[in-house]
Each structure stands twice: as C-alpha cells, then as structure tokens.
C-alpha cells in the first residue's frame, strides 16, 4: 500500500557538473583576477559541448542477460541507451567530473535497470548473482568518494540499479511520529510529502537537492542541521534490505537489547551488503519559524573553544558551523559573494534556530549570551546570506573547473582534544603536497556537525590545474589522508568510504575487523556482485 508519491518526476542533474546547469554562476572579473594572479590559473581545454560527444565502451552484457532483467522489471525499465549509461557513470567528485570532461567514461554500466518493488529487487539480485553481473545500487549519483566505481573486471557486465521508481511515502505513524519511506525519494521530494502532513526529517546536507533517502542511509549522511536533528543514521529506526540471499528486516522498537543492532551493518555499507528498499525514519513536527544569525570571533581557536562549550553545556542551536580565517575572508559561507573584499575579518559562525516563537525566544537568547560571553560579535546579515546560498557551493565549483581551477573538498572528524592538531596537520599536508607539485593552494576549513566529544572539519582546496589534475588531486588527497590517520582523526565523517578512502578505512578498522566484514558480505552476497571494490577491496 502507498500513502503518497511525488507529483512529478525529478529532473536529471547535469552530466558535466553538479545539478541544474542554469544555477552555475558566471565568475566576476574580481574572481578571475584572483584565480589568475593569486593561483596562476589558466583556462583548460574546453569541455565537450554535448553528452553525445562522450565515447562508450562496447556492451559486455549479452542480449539474453538483458532480456532476463527485462522480464522482471519490464522492458521499459531496462535500457542500454548511451545517454542513460553515461548519466550513471561515476559520481560527482572533482576527479569524476574531470574524467568525464576528458572523455574518460571508464566504469559506465552496461545497462540501467529501474525496479519498482522490493520483490523485483530480490529477483534482479538473484539473476545477477547467477550470471555474475555486478550491481551498483544507484540513488542520486552524488557520491564524492568513488562510491559508484565498481571493480568489475571479473564480472560479465555491470548494472546500475536505479531506485527512482521506488519513491513512495508508504506509511505514517502519527502516534509514534514515524514514516516508512522508499529509498528512491530525493531529499526535496521526501520533505514535500512530509511537510504536507506537518512533519520534517530535518536532514539537509549540501547534496539535499539530488541525493536520495537510500543514499543518505547507505553512506551515514550528516546534514547541515545535524546539531539540532542529528545525523541521518540516528533517525533511521528500521530497514528492509534485499540481498542476493534474501530479505533482512531490522528494527522493531526504538531501542532493544536483542543482540547487536543489525541496522548498523547496512547503515554505511554503501550498497555492498544489500539494497535498502524501505526505511522507517523518525520525524519531528515541522517548525513554525526558522531564523539564521551570524557571529564573528577574532580567531579560529577562540571560535572552536566557544563551539565546544555550546556542544557540551548548551544551549545547542539547530545549525552551528564555524569558518576559519581564510574561509571567512573569501566569503565561502556565502558563495555568491566570492571574491568581494571582506567588510570585517575574524572567523564567521553561522547559527540557525527552529521552533515556535516562544521556543526561539529562549534559544536565541541563550546562544547569544553564550557567544557574547566567549568574545563573539554579532554579524546580523551573515546568517541569512548563508541560508540563501547553502546549496550553491557545488555550482561554484563547476564554474571554477571551467575556468581552469582545481577545487575539491575533504572532511574528517575527531575528539575535541585532537581537533587543533588535526586541523594544522591536514592543512600542512595539503599545502606541502600541492606546492611541491607547482600549484600552491588556497586552503579553507570550517567546523560543523558538533558533538559533546568532538566535531568534524571540512576542508575546501583550490589551486591551478596541473597537466594531470586527477593525478594531482590523488597525490594531495593521499598525503592528507595519511595526515588524518597520524593525527588521530577518522578518514571520513559523512562522505563515506567508496574506493577513495578504502586503504585508510582498512587501517582504521583493523585487519580483524575487515575480515569480520568480509565474512558478513560472503554470507549475504556470496558471489560478490554488490558494488564490488567499494568499502572492501575486491575479493581474490
């Protein structure tokens, strides 16, 4: 039974960039001068004019195999058309986009399959397991860590299992404030369906406009309002998962002592253990009011100390993030203002509050008192400027890539006591690596996703593209990842492992932990068809 579905199909994102091509800004002359004079950026070769200009490897799947898939999902829901294959190639990391711009379509699936139900997914996985066809579960395609790059050489082909047809609000439990939702719902679609009924999930990552609920769960996503609502994996109370060996259902109460929580096997599993086909998610009442505010500290260290006090002693706002001096100076918290001379310096804090008028009055006053006591000054316009541009960062990256800059992000998380050294170590590693390659960078950072015991660091890096920009970034990223491990951070807070972070994930988890996870995969996916090479190295 279905309670509701979105009223219209969601548009496909740009093949060469992040999302809606119309949202990509035109760079101002001040930004172009900054790129040319400050970073030595020179325009690269132009990207292809059309997706039709991209080459494709011949199909590996046999006609018989495609026919078997079509018998399950319907002929109209199985395609090997070039554009569909290309739109399901890779994710949205800078290396992903650079490869496409360089006409490298390695990893394109042989077919795109759109199942419509849990039972169809089960049968498709059974067929693919029997025929040694690799399966990449596909949501919004927004991975930035190689999460859609299967190691498929030993398989007879690759299928992208696009879950967009599984996009229903299945059930709503008003008394428990829970919703059962299908994984193919995009962030805006899910929020629209729930807001009509007075609820919100409260999960708004930068990928919100295109990512799906299944992707949020499979990667342990964390949204910009995590200070108030928590991470997405905190909100998932039950899952239904299709595997090549059958169905796994987890979660029948808010908390339980009935053995290890099997939800945790699939939350963060990145499509390697099964395909999430339904999620039971905790809801909140949609807020009556939302307000954003800005504050400035003299230094990043002072701001970090103040945020720690808020996280540990309260009051905690819904949104809380602190930009370092460089990010503040470049107005990256408001990307539309990039390149404009800063009116004031320091380090910018963005604070967001949600609730009723009465609740906001108390919370705003409490946070104001705490920040002023810690030495912050009010910046009244900064909060609303950030809120208006909160999803624009990836579009700015598209424009900067077109101009010849290399722009990419990475994130980590650690305990408060380790954050200052971690910040310095990662910044130094990135600066030394890229400067050594002849492309001195600008390195920006902000603190977000706060907890009583620690917080995440999110770095943005910009420099001139070298002759091999993919290799250039890979070298810098390896150096930064080594620095993260040495300084006691985690290799990822919310981007996931994919293929990019896999060597450091194995170090973080340990050899015994990796073997235990391999044993679980062998039980659920004995043929190893599910996203091979992601999270875990390919089996021998």
pLDDT of res. 341 = 57
Q: What is the pLDDT of residue 279?
A: 98
Which of the residue ranges 322-331, 344-353, 504-513 has the most confident prediction, judged by mean pLDDT? 504-513
Instruction: Convert the pLDDT of each residue in 376-403 to its tens digit.
Output: 999 988 999 999 999 999 999 999 999 9
Q: What is the pLDDT of residue 517?
A: 97
Which CATH topology does 393-505 take? GMP Synthetase; Chain A, domain 3 (3.30.300)
* CB distance 234 to 514 below 8 Å: no
User: Does 286 have pLDDT greater than 70?
Assistant: yes
479 in Cβ contact with 433 (< 8 Å):
yes
**300, containing H or E segment:** helix 300-313
Contact 86, 108 (CB under 8 A): yes
Determine the pLDDT at residue 200.
Answer: 98
Kindly indicate the confidence band of residue 358, based on its pLDDT and cuts at 50, 70 and 90: confident
d(CA 321, CA 294): 10
Q: What's the pLDDT tens digit per position in 432-459? A: 999 999 999 999 999 999 999 999 999 9
Whether 526 shows a pLDDT value over 60: the answer reads: yes
Mind listing the pLDDT tens digit for each residue in 109-140? 999 999 999 999 999 999 999 999 999 999 99
pLDDT value at 335 more than 60? no
* pLDDT score, position 105: 95
Average pLDDT over residues 153-175: 97
Same topology for domains 66-286+510-540 and 289-388, yes or no?
no
- Tell how strand 377-378 and strand 289-297 pair up: antiparallel
Q: Write the DSSP symbol of residue 68.
A: H
Q: Tell me the percentage of the chain whose pLDDT exceeds 70.
A: 97
Cis amide leading into 315 (omega within 30): yes
Mean pLDDT of 187-211: 97
pLDDT greater than 80 at residue 540:
no
Under a CB-based contact definition with an 8 Å cutoff, are residues 269 and 182 in contact? no
User: What integer is the mean pLDDT of 45-50?
Assistant: 86
As a CATH number, domain 66-286+510-540 is 3.30.465.10
- How far apart, in whole angstroms, are the C-alpha atoms of residue 242 and residue 236? 17
Confidence of residue 343 (pLDDT cuts 50, 70, 90): low
Structure-block tokens of residue 349 = 């804090």
Match domain 289-388 to its CATH number in 2.40.160.210, 1.10.10.10, 3.40.50.300, 3.30.70.3450: 3.30.70.3450
Report whether pLDDT(57) > 70. Answer: yes
The CA distance from 42 to 497, in Å, is 32
Q: What is the DSSP letter of 514?
A: H
Task: Quickly count: other Cβ atoms within 10 Å of residue 94's Cβ.
Answer: 22
| CA distance linking residue 353 with residue 357, whole number of Å | 10
Each domain of the chain, given as residue ranges in start order, spans 66-286+510-540, 289-388, 393-505
Q: 22 or 43, which is more confident?
A: 22
Predicted confidence (pLDDT) per residue in 319-332, tens digit: 999 999 999 998 75
Residue 202, pLDDT > 60, answer: yes
Q: Residues 353, 303: contact at Cβ < 8 Å?
A: no
Residues 242-265 have pLDDT tens digits of 999 999 999 999 999 999 999 999
């Amino acid at each position: 039974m279905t309670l509701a579905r979105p009223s219209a199909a969601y548009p496909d994102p740009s093949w060469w960039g992040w999302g809606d091509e119309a949202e990509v800004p035109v760079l101002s002359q001040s930004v172009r001068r900054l790129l040319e004079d400050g970073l030595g950026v020179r325009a690269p070769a132009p990207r292809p004019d059309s997706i039709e200009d991209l080459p494709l490897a011949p199909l590996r799947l046999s006609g018989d195999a495609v026919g078997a898939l079509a018998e399950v999902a319907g002929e109209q829901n199985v395609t090997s058309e070039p554009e569909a294959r290309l739109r399901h190639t890779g994710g949205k990391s800078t290396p992903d986009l650079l490869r496409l711009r360089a006409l490298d379509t390695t990893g394109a699936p042989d077919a795109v399959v759109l199942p419509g139900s849990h039972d169809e997914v089960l049968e498709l996985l059974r067929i693919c397991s029997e025929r040694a066809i690799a399966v990449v579960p596909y949501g919004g395609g927004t991975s930035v860590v190689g999460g859609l790059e299967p190691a498929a050489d030993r398989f007879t082909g690759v299928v992208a299992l696009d879950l967009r047809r599984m996009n229903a609000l299945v059930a709503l439990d008003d008394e428990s404030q829970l919703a059962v939702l299908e994984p193919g719902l995009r962030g805006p679609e899910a929020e629209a369906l729930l807001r009509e009924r007075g609820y919100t999930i409260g999960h708004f990552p930068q990928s919100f406009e295109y990512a799906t609920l299944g992707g949020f769960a499979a990667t342990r996503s964390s949204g910009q309002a995590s200070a108030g609502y928590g991470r997405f994996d905190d909100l998932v109370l039950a899952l239904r998962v299709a595997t090549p060996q059958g169905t796994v259902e987890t979660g029948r109460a808010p908390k339980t002592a009935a053995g290890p929580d099997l939800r945790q096997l699939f939350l963060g599993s990145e499509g390697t253990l099964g395909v999430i086909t339904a999620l039971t998610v905790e809801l909140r009442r949609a807020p009556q009011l939302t307000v954003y505010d800005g504050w400035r500290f003299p230094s990043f260290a002072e701001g970090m100390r103040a945020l720690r006090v808020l996280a540990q002693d309260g009051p905690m706002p819904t949104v809380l993030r602190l930009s370092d001096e460089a990010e503040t100076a470049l107005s990256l918290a408001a990307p539309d203002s990039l390149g404009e001379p800063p009116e004031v310096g320091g380090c910018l804090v963005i604070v967001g509050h949600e609730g009723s008028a009465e609740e906001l009055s108390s919370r705003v006053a409490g946070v104001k008192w705490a920040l002023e006591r810690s030495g912050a000054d009010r910046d009244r316009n900064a909060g609303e400027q950030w809120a208006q541009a909160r999803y624009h960062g990836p579009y700015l990256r598209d424009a900067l890539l077109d101009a010849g800059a290399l722009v990419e992000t990475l994130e980590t998380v650690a305990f408060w006591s380790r954050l200052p050294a971690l910040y310095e170590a990662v910044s130094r590693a990135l600066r030394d690596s890229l400067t050594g390659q002849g492309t001195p960078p600008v390195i920006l950072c902000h603190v977000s996703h706060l907890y009583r015991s620690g917080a995440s660091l999110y770095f943005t890096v910009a420099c001139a593209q070298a002759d091999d920009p993919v290799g250039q970034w890979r070298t810098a990223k390896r150096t930064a990842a080594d620095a993260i491990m040495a300084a006691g951070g985690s290799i990822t807070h919310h981007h996931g492992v994919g293929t990019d972070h896999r060597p450091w994930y194995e170090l973080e988890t340990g050899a015994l932990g990796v073997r235990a996870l391999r044993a679980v995969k062998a039980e659920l996916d004995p043929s190893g068809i599910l996203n091979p090479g992601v999270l875990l190295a390919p089996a021998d």
